[in-house]
């Protein structure tokens, strides 16, 4: 798991070439005006989803992990709490392999991801995005899905 400001994204260029492409998209586009939706960067290997939603109470969120994809979760506007732990410390509740997601039961560390910051969650990283910091609030976020094979 990595958490940082988008202005420091170049520090992580060497992690995987497709992560670099994902960060480049975030840096080169006006994410405040880009319409909500899915944008392909490298076919199904790197794509981004621009989302707008209200954060939720923690009891209304689920811990998840992915089989193949790494997430770059970048908060464009607002702030949200994300919970993180290694998936080895969790128990599988539900698997949806066709959607590259499993839902897990467990505890984790709480991170506050503010506007202008991102968190990277790799397949071994269980994470719970979309949790409110104190009270539910509107958030605009980019989620870059990166196949790191």
Residue 148 pLDDT class (50, 70, 90 cuts): confident
* Residue 126: predicted pLDDT: 98
Judge if pTM exceeds 0.85: yes
Q: How far is CA 34 from each of CA 29, 78, 103, rounded to the nearest angstrom?
A: 8, 16, 30
Q: How far apart are CA 146 and CA 45, in angstroms?
A: 6
* Residue 109: predicted pLDDT: 97
Write out the two tokens for 13: 């260029």
**Cβ 83 vs Cβ 58: under 8 Å:** yes
* Residue 122: predicted pLDDT: 96
Residue 46 pLDDT class (50, 70, 90 cuts): very high
User: Distance from CA of residue 115 to its chain's centroid?
Assistant: 13
Listed residue (127, 130, 124) closest to 148, CA to CA = 124
**Cβ 103 vs Cβ 94: under 8 Å:** yes
Q: Which ranges constitute the DSSP H helices of the chain?
A: 17-28
Write out the two tokens for 117: 């910051």
State residue 146 phi and psi, 5-degree precision. -125, 120
Residue 94 pLDDT class (50, 70, 90 cuts): very high
Q: How far apart are CA 59 and CA 38, in angstroms?
A: 28
- Spell out a b/e string for 36-47, using b for 16 or more CB atoms within 10 Å of the CB, else e: eeeeebeeeebb
């Amino acid at each position: 798991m990595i958490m940082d400001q988008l202005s420091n994204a170049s520090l992580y260029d060497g992690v995987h070439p497709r992560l670099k492409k994902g960060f480049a998209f975030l840096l080169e586009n006006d994410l405040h005006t880009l319409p909500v939706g899915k944008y392909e960067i490298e076919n199904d290997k790197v794509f981004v989803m621009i989302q707008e939603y209200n954060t939720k109470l923690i009891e209304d969120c689920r811990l998840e992990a992915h089989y193949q994809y790494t997430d770059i979760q970048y908060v464009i506007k607002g702030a949200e709490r994300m919970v993180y732990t290694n998936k080895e410390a969790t128990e599988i509740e539900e698997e949806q392999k066709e959607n590259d997601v499993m839902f897990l039961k467990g505890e984790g560390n709480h991170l506050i991801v503010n506007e202008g910051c991102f968190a990277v969650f790799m397949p071994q990283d269980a994470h719970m995005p979309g949790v409110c910091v104190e009270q539910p609030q509107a958030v605009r976020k980019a989620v870059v899905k990166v196949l790191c094979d």
